[in-house]
Structure 1
Amino acid sequence: MCSIGGGTDIEIEERVKGRSYRCKECGERFKAVGKHPVCPSCQSEDVEEA
């Protein structure tokens, strides 16, 4: 018999470390995870690692 359990008790922020970025369009500084970060302020993909 197979059962599907509920959610897990894992805090994502404790496990995944985001990298710091700066948006070249609006100057916003933010942390993101992934290969193609997007500025949360202006949605630009023109960002650089800070």
Structure 2
Amino acid sequence: MAEIDMKKLKTKRYRCLDCGNEFKGIGKHVVCPSCQSDNVESNE
């Protein structure tokens, strides 16, 4: 299995509108890693 260096990927900062968690994500369908909600907004 290949190792992925997250620092080299183009990630965005997101905030979950349901639980308030802030996290980095990538892709078109981002979900909160804390509560699995897709009600998130980009902070960038």
Q: Which runs of 5+ in 1 are unaligned?
A: 1-6
Q: Please list, as runs of the form range in 1=range in 2, the aligned pairs for 1:34-49 lying within 5 A after superposition.
A: 34-49=27-42
Please tell me whether Structure 1 or Structure 2 has the larger radius of gyration of its CA atoms. 1
Aligned-pair Cα RMSD in Å:
1.7
Which structure ranks higher in relative contact order (CA pairs < 8 Å, sequence separation ≥ 6)? Answer: 2
Gaps of 5+ in 2: none
Q: Aligned pair count?
A: 43
Q: Hey, what's the Cα distance between the residues in 2 that align with 1:40 and 1:11? A: 18
Using structure 1 for the length normalisation, give the TM-score: 0.72
Residues 1-50 of structure 1 deviation map (CA, whole Å, 9 limit, x = unaligned): xxxxxx66x65223212100000000000000000100000000000001
Identity %: 47
* TM-score between both structures, scaled by the size of structure 2: 0.80
TM superposition outliers: structure 1 runs of 4+ over 2 Å: none
